Structure formats: structure tokens, C-alpha cells
Amino acid sequence: MREENLILEIKGNSLDDGPGIRTVVFLKGCPLACLWCHNPEGRKPGPEISFDKSKCIDCGACVDICPSGALSGSHRFFIDREKCTLCFLCVDACPSTALGRVGQAMTVSEITKKVLRDKPFFDSSGGGVTLSGGEPSLNMEFAAELLGNFKQHHLHTLIETCGYFNHGKFTALILPFVDVIYYDLKLFDEKEHKKYCGTSNTVIIDNFIKLADIADNAAWRIIPRIPMIPDITDREDNLNALADFLQHKAKQVSLLHYNPLWLDKNSKIGTDFEVSGDSKMKEWIKPEKIKFYESIFIKKGIEVVSA
Amino acid sequence: MNFITSLLLKTMAFMFNIRPSLKKYLRTTDGWINFSVGIKLENGKLEQSITFRNGKASVSGKIAPDTDVVMRFVNKETVKEMLKITPNEMLGLILHNKMVLDGNIAYLQLFNFYLSLLLGKKHQRMLAKKNKDDSSYRKKEYATGGHEARGREIADRNKNRLKGMRTDENVRYLEDPYLSEYSIDNFPRIKKFLNDHFTLKPAICTERPRLLTQWFRENGFESDAEGILWQPEIRAALAYRYLMENRKPIIHSNDLIAGTSTSKEPTGVIIYPDAQGTMIWGELGSVDKRALNPYTISEEDALVLHDIFTFWTKRNFREYVRNKYNNPLCLSIDERWVYYFVWKSVGISHTIPDFPKLLNKGINGIMEEIDLRLKDEKNTEANTISLTAMKITLEGVIAYAKNLAGEASVLASSEKNPVRKKELERLVGICTKVPAGPSETLDEAVNALWIVWVALHMENTNTGLSLGRLDQWLQPYFAKDMGNISTESERREYIAHAIELVACFFMRGTDHLPLVPDIGNYLFGGSSSDQAITIGGMTTEGQDGVNDMTYIILKVTEMLSIRDPNVNARFSMEKNSDAYLKRLCEVNYITVATPSMHSDENVAASLAPHGYKIEDIRDWAATGCVEPTLCGRHMGHTGSILMNMVAAFEMALNNGRHPAMDWNLGPSTGSIEKGSFSTFDDFFSAYAAQQEFLIDQAVELNNLLAEAHTVLRPTPFLSSLIDGSIEKGTDVTKGGARYNTSGSSNIGLADVTDSLMVIKKLVFDDKIISFAELKKAVDANFNGYPKILALVKNRVPIFGSGNMESLALANRITEFIHGCYHRHTNYRGGKYTAGFWSMSQHVAYGSLSGALPSGRLAGKAFTPGLTPQPSASKNFLDNIMDVARLNPRHMDNNIAFNVKLMPGLAGKREGTIDSMCSYVKTYFQQGGMQMQFNVVTSEVLKDAMAHPENYRNLLVRISGYNAYFVTLNREMQIELIERTGYGI
């Protein structure tokens, strides 16, 4: 167990992370390493420092205050993360929020208090709170405590998970407090999964089967979601394989439409990630493609729903 | 400079002296026009004047003390600039403090008119070039890719309309209250009206001023032909009756409703020369070619108006106050445009007449009531005069209706189409019966309303006069008609007829526009008459007020998507259904910008301290923009004062001096540079003192102008339709109404709150920067101070962020402002109220204000109404909660909370509507009073800037009123694009 549980962000007024108006709690740290990760700052469990060049006003306050000489305009990412000791003095000194701390330690009661501010909107819209990440089940005890707390306040709860968890613990700790599980499936082929997501998918597939088996009589619902990543997950063979797998195990599936908005996030946290100039990764998904993807699942009798 | 100016004026004088074609303009029906205009520089280096006397023009190097109007220029560059602009732009020089005007602005307009006679052709070429340049600039600057899809997105919202369920107990006849089967395509008649509305240019109509001036010239204004002083009310009534008897009775082609507001079709501009009418004088030659909202006018009509205007140069509200009170300071402040605007120089129209009484009793019934009242032995002479005047005006209205019946009969006899013939014959019957007698059918009620509406605008300026709770008042007639029908198919047909009739009524409401001189395009851009209609809420008995007519009016609102009438919906959390709220949101989504939504409970809470009767409060309706009037019994002149809070704040920053105007106007409240402020509260007190000073001045002017109305334009006809007036035997301008208040709106709440928060946090609490340093940065518009700007923008929790301290500060300010007004009594003996909406003044005032400690840069718009800054919070819910938590008791003239919602291209239609419902409902539950959405993306707005021809009907809500986006000035368009937006 880690000493602290870091929160990436608590985002209110989300209309895309479950029913109604929702507040999403993003937890830091994820066991997978998907190439296309839309929240790359959520991968590492520990705190990080970020730099957004577009916000920098070049005032030099950070360079002056840095005790380790880690900041320099000549460094590719501005911050030399080899030298940086994560003291965050520069973040406090930065007037423009170009430098930022990624990951705030918050207690369960602090998080709950912040989420509860939006409760009137949950009540009027049938919304609630969503745990996301990173991977919220990475620290199962913490996630469970949060969800339990939310339930005490009668909030509708949803967890977004990559499925890479210990099934026994998930069943014991999470299931009692959750109304909906958004369960991400990416690639059905194990080798491909290893290649693009950094791990095998056998745990993920097994966990899904176990949950799907008991879902019919459970108080919670599970909806598999598949991100449509150009030329990786959106290939016809992968979608056919997933559709075959889901047939008889799920009544519904949600297909996540790809957007390129995440591309500049990597450089902020000092990660190299380049896509070639003509990559489809730089484009928004086309409506006619969506129709085609959906047809693959509809043919198997699976309803495509928006998440 | 002296030489050039002198040469110009001498050339002008020479031309007018020798050319008969020009000389004819020196004389009108009243004789020679004698006046003088001075031009000088602030530093005294230039002084010239031109005098027109008894048909001769002469130029002098001196400005005599009795010169009618003097243009004081800031420097010689601005004089040169004047020589290069067209007459419509002249007043813009005042707006930007390049020139100060001393004296009667009508004479400047006359001078401009003379200039345009000399330079008219040149001016037209200049305007044409400017318009062309503007259009290509827009295309270059704002063109975006894929604009066809953008245009289609809004049109597509009309597809897959939701079906409703009958859940509202007072909806008796509509199986699907959402009336989803109907669209504009079902009503070809209305489609034609709508097309005319969007394609035909409005024309200036001379009928009203011509007939009235004719009567006054014959019968005298101050005194009659025998030299006996007129009783103003009697004079006004007789002139009014003459106008109503002699104006042309027109039945708009193929319309179901008889009568027009002007003699021009489809849209006429009404002129009120006793108010702001003469402001168009200088533009008579160019108004047709101006870039924004041009009007057509024939040369002949221009000459008619020139002749009329000379009669009114001194007989208008402003000049009455200037002459009687020796050009008081409160008037001079108003004439700099930047501190406050007192609407009474234009009219007192922001009220709602007692239409139920009109429909129930008819004008004959009201006359009987007056007759009875006249017999009261305790009547004073003043009572008898007021009551007699009311009666005379009512005779005028009956005469007009009779003329309409005659016209309908003439048209019917020559009509070939049998269907139309029948309609015209029906109109003969209707106009013979109403509004003289009580209405018995929906057709009669709607026609009676319209005839009286036209008649009201013949007396009162068409600015903000409002229609009230039409759904409540028309429902009995609709229900009665439906009750008389036995078959299902006839009922369906009648519902379609009711929709068409109400649509005709809405379109009739577009048949007139207020006169907007070009400067008005920058001050009140795109505004029309702002005839508010209010639907829903509670009945006066406290029951669910949503009925069949509520949904019929909503259907019409959706089908037409027009800016005016301005539809306002009341929503009672306690009594109204979610189905009704959902329909409001669907209509808002389809039309982009209407209706605006109000919480019944929270508006009632704001009115509670006034001690009105509860059933009267329940009968409130929006007036002009959003302001509450208790229908038919309340002269609230809710748009009296538009106060610039930021001007007061800037004066506090500068020890009483307004920087842009460079005027040491306010009290000395301390110098930041000299370290006068040792605590935050010290500075708050300085702001408070400046604010109170401006409020006191605005109130004084409002009271003086109110007196001017009683002398120049008392309103006996309106009085006959406001409860209390007949009983008291007193005109409403003198306090005849049962309830009397004056409403203010205070503009810049978020900007002032945030600026104060920045000072509090950075200077006094955290001591990160000194006050003097911050002031230097503000004075430099933050140029060279990027670090301070960054601190200001990132380190201070502002209003709308969910921070309790900034919220408390906002509440402290509203409480203070409300208190300042509340101490005063208005001319009619009532209280002042405080509102926080901005019409379009947040843009106009913004363009005249310097940078603020909040980080808002010089010249930028303030936030609209009391809407939080875009940067307040990433979470829209924080915005909603903060606005909802403002105390309604300090906002008794209502608020405007604007939100731009930006739907994704692949819109989830019903989901979007459901989210809107949740926002509104929660906001109301938390205490919010009013909320209005623009459901449009910035990309669509940019595309509309580049291709206005594709977006003629794109409706947007400014702050309280609606406008067509393409009719707005560029600053307002940019403000809408930059306005806080949230994805949905």
C-alpha cells in the first residue's frame, strides 16, 4: 500500500462519465501503459511536475527559486527531471500556473466534501459521482472507502476501470458500493494487448467473465467500453473478436469515439511521444466510421449505447 | 486650426446664403430657424461659431454666451477627425471623449443635417466604402472551415421534436402540449410574414409626429389660440384623439389582426420628437446607408421631419430639465454617456397595462367607470382634468377601431378570394365590437389587445412597454371557444387556428421599431422594442398557471424564433410541472436564445420587502428585459437608470477622477499613490462613496425628467389602463398607479467584485504586491506588467468560483447598492429598486472604461448582467451556485445570468435538453432568480460574422433582450463569442 493517495483532479459538471450531471474523481496511478493514454499524467502513482509552455510568461521566478538548478529554457521540457527533487517551490512561485503539481494528496473526507458541493445537481439530473483515473482500483482500499462514503450520502456511484485488478478484493470491497461499472476492453489478442498496453489481458478478460456471470442478479450494472483508437483497437479483426466475446455476456457496449486532444499532454510531464505527421491519431473520428463500428456489435445483438 | 474651421464654416454660410435650394431649409412652418453652433478646443486655441438668423448665415471668431450648442474638442486631431466622418458617426466622438457637447444636442443634429445637405453625396460614398471594407474584414478575420455544417446544425434542432404528455392540470385541450406535429410549414401565411420580416428594410414613419405637430401648431402647445395656458393632460388628450381619428387605418395584407403601428409596411420606425426623436435629424440623409440597422426614408419624408423637428428642439424632456433647472450637473453627467443613462429622456414605458380589465369591460366599460368617478363631489379640479383627459383619449381609440372596421369592409367588398373575404368580413365584425365592448372569443380578445397596443404606442415611446401574462389572460377565451366545439376534427382545426392567430399577433409585434440613431447601435445594439410576454408560473390564487395557451405561445415562440416579443417564462418549483420546464428548455434549444427563465419563488422573495399584497406579487410579469412589474397596477418604470458600477470604481481608484473622461467629478476619497488606504475596508468605503455619488445624481435626474413628463407628455390613455389611476383621479406620470417604483440596473457587478477581491487578496491579505504597484499596472493596461497580470488572473478566487469570500463580497456590494437607491423617493412618491442586468451596456460601458484590477483590459466588455467571468471556474456548477446564492432581497429589479452552452456537433438532442432542465431546476432550488441560455458554439457565431447573409435569423440573448446576431455591432459580436461557454 502506498503512503498517500493522489488525486489528479476533481471535475464537476461532467456529462460524459455516466448518467446525469456527474462529478468525476480522477485517481493517480495505473497498472497499464496504453500507448494512446488520454491522461498520461495519471499513469505514475507518485507526484509529478508539469510545465505548460503556452502559459509561461517568462518571468524567471521559478529559475531563481529552484534549489537544484533543474529548470532551464534550454532543456527540452524546461524541467530536467533527473535533477528535480519534486520540492515544488517553483510551482508556488509561478504566477501564471505554467508550472503545476500533478497529484494532490487528499483525504476521503476532503474529497467527499468537495464532491458534495455538486449534490443538488446530481439530485435534479439523476447524476452522481464517478471514480476514474489512472485506475481507481489500483488502491482498492482507498477506492472502497471513498465509494462507501459516497453511498452514506446516497450518491449514485460509478467506477471506470481497466479491469486489471484482484477479483476477490474487487468483489469484496468495491461491488457493495457501486451502481455502475464502466469496464474498458481494448484489444482481444493477448500479444497485441501486451504490445500496446504493456500487460497481458488475461486478468482483464477473466475478471470480465466473472463479473458478467453474476451481473444479471446484481444490484450493479456493468457496461463494457471500447476505445476506438485508429489502426490499433478500431481494426475490424479486433472489433469482431471483441463482439464475439461479448455476445451472450453483455447486452450493451459503449464505443468511445477517438479524439486527438491528448497529444500535447505528454510533453507537459516530460514524456516523449511523437506521432508521425500523417498519423490518423491526429484526426477526429469520422461519423461514417462510427456507423460501421456500431454495425459490428449490432449484428451480434449487442446494443450500442453512449457512455 | 482656426483657419481651417473658419474656412469650413464660412463656406457653409456662403452656400446657405446664396443657394435657394439650401436656403429653403432655413425656414419651416414656424418661420426662420434661428440658432448658433460653436466649435472650440479645450486649450482655447480655437474658437469659431456659426449663426443662422432670419435666413442669413454668418460666422464669427467668438462664441457668444447664448450659443445653443458648443462642441468642445479635446485636441486638434479630433477636430480633423470630425471633418472626415459622416454625420451618423458624430456622436461617437462624444462616446469616446474626443468631444464634449455643451447645450442642446438637437441643434448639433440640425447642424449635422445642414452639413449633410452640402456633403450628402460624399457621405454616401464614404459610408458605402466603409461597409464594403467592413464586410471584407469580417470575411478575412472570421471565416472558418466547414461552415455549411455549422449553419445546418441549428436548423437540424427543429427535427425530432419531443412529444409531450398531458400532466399539467390546467391544460385542458391539448393532447400533446408540446404540439410537436406543427411547424412553420403548416402555416404558409406566417411563413410569408416571417420572410418579409427578415428581408424587407424598416422605414421611418412620419405619421405620428406629423399629425401631432399639426394639431399643436394649430392649437398651441404651452397655451391655446386665445393665449390661455393649456392643462397638459387635456392638451395631450385632445392631440392624441386627433391623431387616432386621423391616422390611416391599415389592415396588413392577409393578416388575421387589424391595425398597424405605423403607415409603413411591414415595419415602420415610430418617431417621438418630444423624447429622442430629433436625434435622427443629422442622419436623415445617411440613415439609409449606415452599416447597422439602416432605415429607408424618402426625401419628402426627410423634409417633413425637418419641418416637424424645429417645433420640438426645446420641447423635449432633456431640454425641459436643462432650461428649468439651469443645466444641472446630473444632466451633464448623463450626457457623457459613460456614468449612467437615465431612460426617462426617451420614455416611461417600462410597465404593463391592465389587459384583463380591457378584455372584460371593453373601453366603454372603462368610460362608464370614469363617468361614475367624475360625479364624485370630492373631486379636485386636478382630478376632473385627469379623468376628463382619460375619457378623451378613449374616444380616440374607439374612433381608430371604427376606422379599421370601415377599412376592413372596403377591402372585403373588393376581395376576390372567398376565404380571405370571409376573414375580412369577420374583422369588420370584430373591430366594430372590440375594443369598445368586452371580448368574447379568442379572435376578439387578440384583436382588442393589438388595437390597444397600437394605441398605447401612439402615446408612449415604444421602448419596453410590455404585454404581461398573455397565457393567463387569453386562456378563458380559448377555453370558451373550444367548449363551443363538439367534433374532434373541428377542435384540431381550432387549435391550429389559435396557433396561427397568436403567431399573427407576434408578427404584428414586429411591425414597429424604436428610433435608433447610429450611436444607439453602439449603446443598445440590435435592440427592438422589447415587448416582454410572460408565461407560466402561479395563478394569482397560487395555483398552477400553466395552461393550453402557455403551450400555444411556446409553440409560436419556437416556430418564429424572432427577437421581439421577448418571451419570459416563469417557473414555480412548487406548482409547475417538469414537463413544462422541459418544454421551455426544448424551445430554448431550438431557438438558441429564448425564452428567458425566472423562478417564481425567488422573484417573489425579492419583492416581499415591498409589502405588496401576495396575490399582486403572484401576478408579476417581466417588463422590457427581465424586470418585474405587478401587472396592470404598477408603474415601475423598471428601466429608469442604467448605472455603470465600473465608472464609480474607476473614480475610487483615481480619487474622484474618471480617467477616460478626464473629469474630476466625484468626491475626493483618497489617493492610492499617496497611500491613503491602509485597509481594504478603507478602499471599499472610497468605492462606496463614489457609487453613492453617482446614484444620487442619477436619481436626481430621473426625478427631474419625471416632472418633465407631467408637463410635456402626460399619459391619460395609459392611465386609464393602470389600476389606481381612475380611483385616485390622477395621471400615472403623477403617481396615479396603485404601486409606484422606479427601477435601476447596475452594470458590472462581477467586474467590480473581482477587482475588489484582487485588491483584498493580493494587496491587503497576502501582501504580495503593493496597491501603488497594482495601480501602475492597471494604469498601463498591464503593459509591461505580465507578472502582476498573471497573479491577478491565477491567484485570486473570484465571483463564480465557489469561493465563499468572493460571494460574500458580491452580496455586500448588492446590499450596499440596493440601500443607496432605497433611501430615495421617486417623483411619484415610490421607492427605487435595484437590478443587476445590463441590456447591452456591458459592451458600451466596457468600451469606455480602462483596465481593471480584475485583469480585464481597457476597452473590453464587462461580463453581461451579473454573469461571472469566464475564468472564474472550470466548473459551470460553481457559477450557478454562486449566482444562486446572491440575496434576492437586494435585487428587486431582477438580474440577468447569461450562460452560453455549446452543443457538440453530433448533438444528443434530448440529453442536452435534460441537462439544461437540471441546471435551471437546481439553480432555482438554490435561490436563483433568472437564467438565460444561448445554445450556440463560438464557431457558429464566427461563421455568422464572416457570412451574415446565411444567419439573418440567428437569435442571441444579450442581457435580458434578444437580438439578431448579424444586427449587432462588432464589439457586441466579439463579446458573445468570448462569453463564458460550457460544452453540453
Position B303, amino acid: L
Eight-class DSSP state of B201: P
Note if the bond before B20 is cis, omega within 30 degrees: no
Confidence of residue A1 (pLDDT cuts 50, 70, 90): very low
Alpha helices in B86-187 (DSSP H): 90-95, 105-142, 147-156
Residue type, A84: C
pLDDT at A64: 96
Does residue B924 sit at the A interface (CB-CB below 8 Å)? no
Whether residue B915 lies within 8 A of chain A, CB to CB, comes out as yes
The pTM (predicted TM-score) of the whole model is 0.96
Interface mutation target, options B914, B916, B931, B939, chain A, most CBs of A under 10 Å = B914
For residue A157, the model assigns a pLDDT of 98
Question: What values do phi and psi take at A298, rounded to 5?
Answer: -60, -40
Select the residue of A20, A125, A306 nearest B908 (Cβ to Cβ).
A306
- Distance from the Cα of B880 to chain A's closest Cα (Å) equals 10
Which of A8, A11, A13, A22 best tests the B interface by mutation, with the highest count of B CBs <10 A?
A13
User: What distance in Å separates the CA atoms of residue A300 and residue A305, rounded to the nearest whole number?
Assistant: 14
- What CA–CA distances, in Å, run from B282 to B116, B176, B532? 7, 54, 31
Mutation target vs B (from A15, A16, A17, A306; most B CBs, 10 A cutoff): A15
The residue type at B891:
M
User: How many C-beta atoms lie closer than 10 Å to residue B972's C-beta?
Assistant: 26
Contact across the interface for A57 and B786, Cβ inside 8 Å: yes
Q: Tell me the pLDDT tens digit for each residue of A120-161.
A: 999 999 999 999 999 999 999 999 999 999 999 999 999 999
* Residues of chain B with C-beta less than 8 angstroms from the C-beta of A59: 786-787, 790
B905: nearest CA in chain A? Answer: A287
Cβ A21–B918 below 8 Å, yes or no?
yes
- Nearest Cα of chain B lies from the Cα of A97 at a distance, in angstroms, of 7
The pLDDT tens digits of the residues spanning A57-67 come to: 999 999 999 99
What would the mean pLDDT of B922-936 be, rounded to a whole number?
A: 97
Are A57 and B926 in contact (CB < 8 Å)? no
Check whether B43 has a pLDDT greater than 90. Answer: no
Of B790, B877, B917, the CB nearest to A13: B877
pLDDT at A91: 97
Distance CA B720, CA B393 (A): 9
Closest CB to A120: pick one of B878, B914, B922.
B922
Query: Do B918 and A61 make contact, defined as CB atoms within 8 angstroms?
Result: no
Q: What pLDDT, on the 0 to 100 scale, is given for residue B146?
A: 66
Q: Report the percent of chain B where pLDDT is more than 70.
A: 99
Contact B787 A127 (CB under 8 A): no
- Burial annotation B682-719 (CB, 10 A radius, 16+ → b, else e): ebbebbbbbbbbbbebbbbbbbbbbbbbbebbbbbbbb
- Cell numbers representing residue B29 in the block: 412652418
Extract the runs of DSSP E, i.e. beta strands, from B672-778. Answer: 739-747
Q: Is the pLDDT of residue A3 over 60?
A: no
Question: What is the secondary structure of B380-437 as a DSSP string?
Answer: -HHHHHHHHHHHHHHHHHHHHHHHHHHHHHHHHHH--SHHHHHHHHHHHHHHHHTTTS
CB contact under 8 A, A95 and B795: yes
To the nearest whole Å, the CA of B552 is away from the closest chain A CA by 27
The whole-angstrom separation of Cα B124 and Cα B127 is: 5
What residue in A sits closest to B926 (Cα-Cα)? A120
B102 φ, ψ to 5°?
A: -110, 120
A132 contacts: CB under 8 Å, gap ≥ 6: A17, A24, A25, A26, A27, A159, A160
Choose the closest CB to A59 out of B786, B919, B983.
B786
End-to-end, the C-alpha distance of chain B in Å comes to: 59
Mean pLDDT over all residues of chain B?
A: 95
Which of A186, A180, A165, A176 lies closest to A255, judged by CA?
Answer: A186
CB B845 within 8 A of CB B779: no
CB B893 within 8 A of CB B628: yes
pLDDT digits (tens, 9 = 90+) for B263-276: 999 999 999 999 99
- Are B517 and B503 a contacting pair, CB within 8 Å? no
Extended strands (E) in B142-270: 203-204, 268-270
Cα separation, B110 vs B52, whole angstroms: 11
Interface of B with A in 852-881 (CB under 8 A): 874-878, 880-881
- Measure in Å the smallest separation between the Cα of A98 and chain B Cα atoms: 10
Cβ <8 Å between B906 and A287: yes
pLDDT reading at A300 higher than 90:
yes
- Chain B residue with CA closest to A95: the answer is B791
pLDDT digit string, tens, across residues B833-861: 999 999 999 999 999 999 999 999 999 99
- Nearest-by-Cβ selection for B787 from A57, A127, A287: A57
Average pLDDT rounded to a whole number, residues B366-387: 97
B642: helix, coil or strand? Answer: strand
Which residue is closest to A118 within chain B, CA to CA?
A: B877
Cis amide prior to A134 (ω within 30 degrees): yes
pLDDT above 60 for B942:
yes
- Closest to B915 (Cβ–Cβ): which among A21, A96, A117? A21
**In terms of pLDDT, which residue wins out, B86 or B917?**
B917
Measured distance CA(B936)–CA(B900) in Å, rounded: 7
pLDDT digits (tens, 9 = 90+) for B473-531: 999 999 999 999 999 999 999 999 999 999 999 999 999 999 999 988 887 778 899 99
C-beta atoms of A306 and B876 within 8 A: no
Shortest Cα distance from A220 to chain B (angstroms)? 23
- State whether A117 and B906 contact (CB < 8 Å): no
Of the pLDDT bands very low, low, confident and very high (cuts 50, 70, 90), residue A2 is very low
d(CA B79, CA B760): 43
Sequence letter at residue A302:
I
User: Does A57 sit within 8 Å of B922, measured CB to CB?
Assistant: no
CB contact under 8 A, B918 and A124: yes
- Is B900 in contact with A37 (CB distance < 8 Å)? no
Burial string for A135-174 (b: 16+ CB within 10 Å, else e) reads bbbbbbebbbbbbebbbeeebbbbbbbbbbbeeeebeebb
Q: Does the CB of B145 have a partner CB in chain A at under 8 Å?
A: no
Cβ contact, residue pair B790, A57, below 8 Å:
yes
* A90-112 mean pLDDT: 96
Look at B794 and A95 and tell me if their CB atoms are within 8 Å: yes
Q: Is B919 on the interface with A (CB under 8 A)?
A: yes
Q: Is B795 within 8 Å of chain A by CB?
A: yes
A·B CB contacts under 8 A: 68
Using CB atoms, which residue from A59, A118, A125 is nearest to B915? A125
Whether chain A has a CB inside 8 Å of the CB on B573: the answer is no
From the CA of B792, how many Å to the nearest CA of chain A? Answer: 9
pLDDT classification of B130: cutoffs 50, 70, 90: confident
Q: Which residues of A touch B874 (CB under 8 A)?
A: 11-12
* Residues on A contacting B at a C-beta cutoff of 8 Å: 11-13, 15, 20-21, 57-59, 61, 95-97, 117-118, 120-121, 123-125, 127, 287, 306
* ipTM value > 0.90: yes
Residue B170 is given by DSSP the state B
For residue A159, the distance in angstroms to the closest alpha carbon of chain B comes to: 21
Q: What is the pLDDT of residue B147?
A: 64
Indicate if the pLDDT at residue B908 is higher than 90. no
- Among A96, A123, A127, the residue with its CB nearest the CB of B794 is A96
Residue of B nearest to A290 (CA): B906
Partner-chain contact B787 A95, CB within 8 Å: yes
CB contact (8 A) between residue B875 and residue A121: no
Chain B residue whose CA is closest to A285? B906
